[in-house]
Structures are given as structure tokens and as C-alpha cells.
Amino acid sequence: MSTRKYMRRALIGAAAGIAIGCMLELAFSAAWGAQHIPGKPSFLADFDNQNLAVLTERVLYALLGAVQAMAGLLFPNERRSLAATTAIHFLLTCVPLLGVGMVLKWWQGGWPLVGALGIITVIYALIWMASWLSVRATVRQVSERIEG
């Protein structure tokens, strides 16, 4: 893959990260009040200027999205086992998410962090299982066509 394609993938991931982050902000604002709150109040309070706080959030959303997009490049690899690739991918997606969550004060250390890790792990496992089942079904269909 060329450098240009890597950059394009990272930029698309960054845009997706910002979009997802903003949508989650709106969802949480709707769930907890009638007014839009662009971030966790404890994070926003750390800044003298709310615009700077929101810019910081958006940059972190973009970085998180770019990392997630680039982590997806691990899977088309025949030299590593699926288990090893999955473990590396999980770490590349989970660790930055937990770090950004701590910076943005979505959760603090201790039990809230453990809870976040548990939720992330369950969601990751469900997505991985659905993907694996889909690929397995496709392989079976191709095998049946070849044999039949």
C-alpha cells in the first residue's frame, strides 16, 4: 500500500472519529438533559476557554479514529495467526480508547476503568464473533461451489 493510501485511510478514520465522537456527545446530551454539553463537565472545567476544550476533544477523536482505521490493516496478514492478529488489534484499539477516555474524564482509574475495559472487551468480542461467523459462512459457500 502506498503512503498516499495510508494517509487517505488515516484521514478517513480521523473524520469518522470526529463524527462518532460528536454523535456520542449529542446522544449523551440528549440522555442527560435538554442542552448540548460538548464533553464531560469535569473535563470542560479544566479549561479557561470552552472552545479550547472542544478543540482538544476533536483532536483526540481524530487521533483515535485514525489509529482505529490503521489498526484494521493488521487483518489481511497470512503470516500471523488469527489469534495473534486479533490480540494485537485489540491492544491497538483498546489501549488508545482507554487512554483518551481517561484524558477526557469519561472514566477515572480504578473500578470505572475496569468497567470500561469490560464493556469494551464485550463489544469487541461480539463484533469479532459476528465478523468471524460471516467469514466462515462465506468460506463454506465458496467451498460448496467448488465441490458442487
| pLDDT tens digits, one per residue of 111-122 | 999 999 999 999
Whole-Å CA distances, 126 to 12, 60, 77, 123, 133: 24, 25, 22, 5, 11
**Residue 72 falls inside a structural domain:** yes
pTM of the prediction? 0.83
Would you say residue 47 lies in a domain?
yes
| The predicted structure's pLDDT at residue 85 | 86
Q: Which residue range is the domain that position 29 belongs to?
A: 3-80
Neighbour-count burial for 90-99, b at 16+ CB within 10 Å, e otherwise: bebbbebbbe
Domain assignment present for 119: no
Report the distance separating Cα 31 and Cα 23, nearest Å.
Answer: 12
Alpha-carbon separation of residue 115 from 21, 97, 101 (angstroms): 20, 13, 12
Rg (CA), the chain: 19
Residues of the chain with pLDDT under 70: none
What is the CA 61 to chain-centroid distance, rounded?
9
Confirm whether 92 is domain-assigned.
no
pLDDT for res 135: 83
Residue 67 lies in a domain: yes
* pLDDT given at position 48: 96
Tell me what pLDDT residue 82 has.
Answer: 80
- Count of structural domains within the chain: 1
Residue 35: which residues within 8 A CB-CB, separation 6 or more?
29
Give a yes or no: residue 25 inside a domain.
yes
Residue 15: phi and psi, rounded to 5, are: -65, -40
Does residue 46 lie in a domain region? Answer: yes
Residue 117 lies in a domain: no
